[in-house]
Structure formats: C-alpha cells, structure tokens
C-alpha cells in the first residue's frame, strides 16, 4: 500500500503555463485532483483543455510551472508508470486485431507477460472479437481498444480526452459503464468531454477552464447545491416586469437573461407572479419551473454569470 503525501493528490499543478509565441494557451493553472476522483474537465474549444492534458502526460512541455503526479514530478519514470493515457486518436493499426494491437503495445512497454494483455481485453469487453481487424470495428469498439492500451501496466491514473466523441448511444453507454467499473477498482480518472449530460452521470468533481484559466473547481455535491430550481418567465418587456417582481416578491433573486426572459430563484408561486404581471398589463408569453443542469451551469459560468 502506498502511503504519505502521494495519497492526497493524483495530480497537482502549480502556476502551470503554456505559451505559443506571445499567446498563452494555459495561464497559471492550479489543478488539484485527489486520488479516487472522476474529474470532469470542461471548457469550450480552444479553452486550453487538450494543451493541459498533453502537459500532464508529458507530451507537451510547460513554459513555466510545476506538475506533480502522486507527489512526484511528471518527468519521474516512477510517476509516469502509474499513468495511462488516451488523447486524440489511439494510434491503432487497422489491419491488426485487437489482441495484436495490445500485444504490440505491451512489447513496446517491456511487458513480456501476456496475462496483462488478456486482462485489459477482458476489462474493455474485447476478449471475444477474435480475428476481426480493427478497420472493421465500430467507433465505440475502437475507443474501448484505446482504453485497453491505456490500461496496460495497470496504471493508477487514467487521462481520457473526449473519449465519447463520435459514439452512438450504445457506444456511449458502454464507455460510461467501463469508466464506472474502472473507478470502482480504485482508479483515478481525468476525463474531458463536450457531452456534459453524460459527464454529469459519472464525474465526482469538475474543473472549468476558460481562456486558459481555471475559473472553478467544484465537487458534484457543491454543483448540485448551486444548480437550484428556478422559475423562468418570458414577458413582453423585462424593464417593466423586473421592478414589479422585485417589489411584490422581495425574497426572490431575479436574473435577467435577455430583453424578454427572467430567471427567478427562490420563487414558490409561479402563478402569483404571472397574475401580478398580467394585472399590470405586462403580457406573459411563457413561464414554468426548471432545474439547472451541468450544461446550463457551465454555459452560465462561460458568460460570467452566477
């Protein structure tokens, strides 16, 4: 059993920065991922997600800052051996079978025991594909084979960059179940994805990156507290409706979304809000209660909201 400082954080960065010319792709990133987490890494295209992941894997060199894996520098071979990676394409050989691909990767890693090959194929559900060549695999099978390659050597930490991109619903479900099973075995998993509805089903923690800066790290429980129920109302004139709502319901927290929409937190009686506006000749086009999800929270944070 490993003890000491390394049991606290699987990944810890300090002021991690990557410059391309005079442009900062990643700016002073202080990332902290505890052992045992499924950490959902979220950001728009160009926000710095992939650049960050490449630095964590040692594929790209930081301009400045520090990266620790289990308390050791990312350049330390002992730390790197505990890391499995699936970033962008998995580098599969299309004219080879799944097993041949894994055997080749194992040999490159110096793993002579083929038992580890059988284990990763079984874990990823690829034990029974026989002599079928990779070029005939579905996208989901290719992604699972990429995870199988990342699992060689039994790493404690997996980094998966957009693993469900391009998958059909069945492929997404299979990969989700695989990630959950690996987590139950005690692996720490850092996963980025644009499909936030799926990410919310597996992640225990989140990091949100915007324009190269980490703007928030939040647990699943904290996110659920922040994703409150709200009453959404669409009216003809927000400028007239807002002061009426504030005067009649001083305890609610209204948030103007645009010229016609108001999101109201803390509202209990939506019908009463509608009634007051209509009585004061403010037409109401639509209204109803909603619950903010991860996607809505993320978009709100990207716009600088709550």
pLDDT in tens, 191-250: 998 888 889 999 999 999 999 999 999 999 988 887 878 899 999 999 999 999 999 999
pLDDT value, residue 296: 81
Compute, in degrees rounded to 10, the torsion defined by CA atoms 18, 24, 25, 31. Answer: 60
Read off the pLDDT of residues 62-83 as tens digits, 9 standing for 90 and up: 999 999 999 999 989 999 899 9
User: Is pLDDT above 60 for 7?
Assistant: no
User: Is pLDDT above 60 for 6?
Assistant: no
How far CA 89 is from CA of 33, 57, 264, 276, in Å, comes to 24, 15, 44, 57
Strand partners for 32: 12
pLDDT value, residue 5: 41
Tell me which residue of 166, 208, 179 sits closest to 299, measured CA to CA: 208
The answer to whether 24 and 181 have CB atoms below 8 angstroms apart is no
pLDDT value, residue 304: 64
Which pair of tokens denotes residue 167? 């998958």
How many angstroms separate the CA atoms of 164 and 143, rounded?
8
How far is it between the farthest Cα atoms of the chain? 80
pLDDT value, residue 194: 85
How many angstroms separate the CA atoms of 241 and 153, rounded?
62
Residues 68-75: contacts with CB within 8 Å, 24+ apart? Answer: 68/9, 68/11, 68/12, 68/13, 69/10, 69/11, 69/157, 70/2, 70/6, 70/9, 70/10, 70/35, 70/156, 70/157, 71/4, 71/5, 71/6, 71/8, 71/9, 71/12, 72/6
pLDDT value, residue 191: 95
Q: What's the DSSP call for residue 135?
A: G
How many angstroms separate the CA atoms of 145 and 142, rounded?
5
User: Is pLDDT above 50 for 42?
Assistant: yes
Read off the pLDDT of residues 248-268 as tens digits, 9 standing for 90 and up: 999 998 989 888 999 998 888
Read off the pLDDT of residues 117-147 as tens digits, 9 standing for 90 and up: 999 999 998 988 888 999 999 988 999 999 9
pLDDT value, residue 1: 38
User: Is pLDDT above 60 for 306?
Assistant: no
């Amino acid at each position: 059993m490993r003890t000491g400082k390394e049991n606290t954080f699987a990944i810890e960065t300090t002021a991690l920065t990557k410059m391309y010319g005079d442009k900062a792709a990643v700016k002073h990133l202080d990332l902290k991922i505890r052992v045992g987490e499924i950490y959902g890494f979220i950001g728009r295209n160009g926000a710095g997600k992939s650049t960050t992941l490449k630095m964590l894997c040692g594929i790209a060199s930081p301009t400045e800052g520090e990266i620790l894996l289990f308390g050791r520098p990312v350049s330390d071979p002992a730390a790197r051996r505990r890391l499995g990676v699936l970033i962008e394409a998995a580098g599969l050989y299309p004219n080879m079978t799944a097993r041949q691909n894994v055997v080749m990767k194992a040999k490159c890693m110096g793993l002579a025991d083929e038992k580890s090959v059988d284990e990763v194929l079984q874990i990823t559900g690829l034990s029974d594909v026989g002599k079928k060549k990779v070029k005939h695999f579905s996208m989901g099978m290719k992604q699972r084979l990429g995870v199988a390659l990342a699992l060689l050597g039994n790493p404690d930490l997996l980094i998966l960059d957009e693993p469900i991109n391009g998958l059909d619903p069945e492929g997404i479900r299979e990969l989700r179940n695989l990630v959950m099973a690996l987590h139950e075995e005690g692996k720490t998993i850092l996963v980025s994805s644009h499909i936030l509805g799926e990410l919310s089903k597996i992640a225990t923690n989140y990091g949100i990156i915007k324009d190269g800066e980490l703007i928030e790290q939040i647990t699943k429980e904290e996110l659920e507290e922040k994703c409150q129920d709200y009453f959404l109302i669409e009216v003809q004139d927000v400028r007239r409706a807002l002061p009426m709502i504030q005067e009649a319901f001083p305890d609610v927290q209204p948030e103007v979304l645009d010229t016609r929409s108001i999101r109201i937190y803390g509202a209990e009686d939506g019908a009463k809000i509608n009634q007051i506006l209509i009585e004061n000749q403010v037409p109401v086009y639509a209204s109803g209660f909603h619950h903010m999800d991860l996607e809505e929270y993320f978009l709100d944070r990207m716009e600088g909201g709550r």
